[in-house]
């Protein structure tokens, strides 16, 4: 087989894997195929695994990822994977979590700009200040936090288990601190019937993607598309969450689509989830109402190839052993409480 035939074969594989549903042009498919082919060749010679969050570009999800999922699924699978090296297609807090759970593995983050506005919204000093203002009150931190903030927390939660874990903790405590996502905190307080500022102390962090959705648009789309099921991430505002048919994390939203059969769906979240849903459920109809996360979309195939071939020291996740030990404790507590 000559080189052209190899690339045509790879284009065919990508098309069948799901990209045909997503409107890739022939040229885009060819460019992607040239890189996915090289990445997969390289991968086959190394003990490496590529996890990818569902908001990543579709050519990463369907071209090179070994597993795809939400924050909870990825953290579990990274810890279980026997591979010695992890090239994490997601954002920094996810790659740090992988390192905390697998300190002996080499973990790389391909794009240095892949941060997160929520993780940036609270520092170690701020969490320590909150702890001194509310002594003895347990601190529950969303997984979208830095390793330093995790290390000062009692329990970590993700969008998939926050409600269950908070419910369990409220059996023993009258008051809990939840950080850093204000909207998620308010949504949880409403769901669990807790008073914000009294029973649930929250921080003011926001996701720059989910804070931007307009709750007023929901009624407009309902009138325009009768029968549409509207799903939103719980990082959206309480007004928006109250107006939709289902609110949850990305994994829960995909489960909801799988288990229902509506005339159409609208996913109020980062656009990657809609792309994935279109590829996974080609017989369903999806109406777009999404925003791009600049952090999630910072990673492309060229970064992944470069990380495999000649990783820089900045791409390698390095955390001091004592920080890893301290940040591991609340993550283990999460796994205990969410099984």
Interface residues with ligand 13P (CB under 6 A) are 70-71, 144, 158-159, 207, 233, 235, 249-250
CB of 208 to ligand 13P, least distance (A): 10
* Complex with ligand 13P: residue 184 or 317, whichever CB lies closer: 184
H-only helix segments in 118-197: 124-133, 147-151, 162-170, 182-192
Whether the bond into 92 is cis, omega within 30 of 0? no
| Burial classification of residue 312, based on how many CB atoms lie within 10 Å of its CB (0-12 exposed, 13-18 middle, 19 or more buried) | exposed
Structure-token pair, residue 81: 């994977």
- Quick check: 338 binds ligand SF4 (CB under 6 A)? no
Candidates 49, 98, 160, 209; binder of ligand SF4 (CB under 6 A) is 209
Compute the least distance from the CB of residue 169 to ligand 13P, in Å.
19
Answer yes or no whether residue 72 interacts with ligand SF4 by CB under 6 A: no
Pairing relationship of beta strands 229-233 and 200-202 according to DSSP bridges:
unpaired
CA 67 to chain centre: 13
CB of 111 to ligand 13P, least distance (A): 15
| Residue 44 C-beta: closest distance to ligand SF4, Å | 30
Q: Rule CB under 6 A: say whether 118 interacts with ligand SF4.
A: yes
Pick the closest to residue 72 from 144, 123, 122, 124 (CA basis): 144
Tell me which of ligand SF4, ligand 13P, none is bound by residue 277, counting a contact when its beta carbon lies within the kind-specific cut-off of 5 to 8 angstroms.
none
Nearer to ligand 13P, 158 or 237 (CB): 158
Using CA atoms, how far apart are residues 252 and 271, in angstroms rounded to an integer? 16
Say whether residue 295 binds ligand SF4 (CB under 6 A).
yes
Q: Of residues 29, 296, 305, 337, which one binds ligand SF4 by CB under 6 A? A: 296
Q: Which stretch binds ligand SF4 (CB under 6 A): 99-107, 207-215, 305-313, 319-327?
A: 207-215
Q: Does 116 sit near ligand SF4 (CB under 6 A)?
A: yes
Out of ligand SF4, ligand 13P, none, what residue 117 binds, judged by CB under 5 to 8 A for its kind, is ligand SF4
Q: Does 208 bind ligand SF4 (CB under 6 A)?
A: yes
- Name the binder of 71 from ligand 13P, ligand SF4, none, CB < 5-8 A by kind: ligand 13P
With CB under 6 A as the contact rule, the residue among 36, 97, 102, 117 that binds ligand SF4 is 117
Interface with ligand SF4 (CB under 6 A), residue from 49, 130, 165, 207: 207
98 CB contacts (<8 Å, ≥6 apart)?
Answer: 51, 74, 75, 78, 79, 86, 88, 105, 107, 317
Q: At 259, phi and psi to the nearest 5? A: -95, 5
144 is an interface residue for ligand SF4 by CB under 6 A: yes
Each residue 211-240 as x (binds ligand SF4 by CB under 6 A) or -, in order, gives ------------------------x-----
Size of the site for ligand SF4 (CB under 6 A): 13
CA distance 10 to 5: 9
- The span from the CA of 56 to the CA of 94, in Å, is 13
With CB under 5 to 8 Å by kind, the binding choice for 257 among ligand SF4, ligand 13P, none is none
Return the residue nearest ligand 13P (CB atom): 249
Environment class of residue 321 by beta-carbon count within 10 Å: exposed (0-12), middle (13-18) or buried (19+)?
Answer: exposed
CA angle 69, 70, 76 (to 5 degrees): 80
Contacts of 67 (CB under 8 A, 6+ apart): 49, 51, 52, 73, 74, 77
Kind and range of the H or E run holding 298: none
Residues that bind ligand SF4 (CB under 6 A): 91, 116-118, 144, 207-209, 235, 270, 293, 295-296
């Amino acid at each position: 087989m000559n080189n052209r035939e190899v690339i045509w074969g790879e284009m065919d594989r990508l098309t069948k894997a799901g990209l045909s549903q997503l409107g890739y042009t022939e040229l885009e498919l060819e460019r992607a195929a040239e890189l996915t082919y090289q990445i997969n060749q390289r991968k086959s010679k190394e003990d490496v695994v590529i996890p990818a969050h569902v908001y990543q570009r579709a050519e990463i999800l369907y071209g090179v990822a070994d597993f795809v999922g939400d924050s909870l699924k990825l953290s579990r699978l990274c810890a279980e994977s026997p591979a010695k090296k992890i090239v994490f297609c997601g954002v920094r807090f996810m790659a740090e979590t992988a390192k905390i759970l697998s300190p002996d593995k080499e973990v790389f983050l391909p794009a240095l700009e892949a941060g997160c506005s929520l993780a940036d919204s609270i520092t170690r000093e701020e969490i320590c200040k909150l702890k001194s203002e509310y002594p003895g009150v347990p601190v529950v931190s969303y997984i979208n936090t830095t390793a330093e903030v995790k290390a000062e927390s009692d329990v970590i939660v993700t969008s998939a288990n926050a409600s269950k874990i908070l419910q369990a903790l409220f059996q023993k405590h009258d008051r809990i601190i939840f950080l850093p996502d204000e909207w998620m905190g308010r949504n949880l307080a409403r769901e669990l019937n807790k008073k914000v500022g009294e029973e649930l102390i929250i921080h003011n962090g926001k996701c720059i993607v989910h804070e931007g959705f307009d709750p007023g648009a929901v009624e407009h789309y309902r009138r325009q598309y009768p029968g549409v099921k509207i799903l939103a991430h719980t990082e959206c505002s309480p007004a928006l969450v109250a107006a939709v048919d289902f609110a949850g994390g990305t994994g829960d939203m995909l489960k909801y689509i799988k288990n229902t059969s509506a005339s159409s769906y609208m996913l109020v979240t980062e656009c990657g989830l809609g792309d994935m849903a279109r590829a996974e459920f080609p017989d369903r109809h999806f109406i777009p109402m999404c925003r791009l996360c600049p952090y999630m979309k910072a990673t492309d195939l060229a970064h992944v190839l470069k990380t495999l071939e000649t990783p820089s020291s900045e791409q390698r996740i390095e955390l001091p052993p004592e920080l890893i030990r301290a940040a591991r404790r609340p993550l283990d507590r999460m796994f205990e409480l969410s099984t």
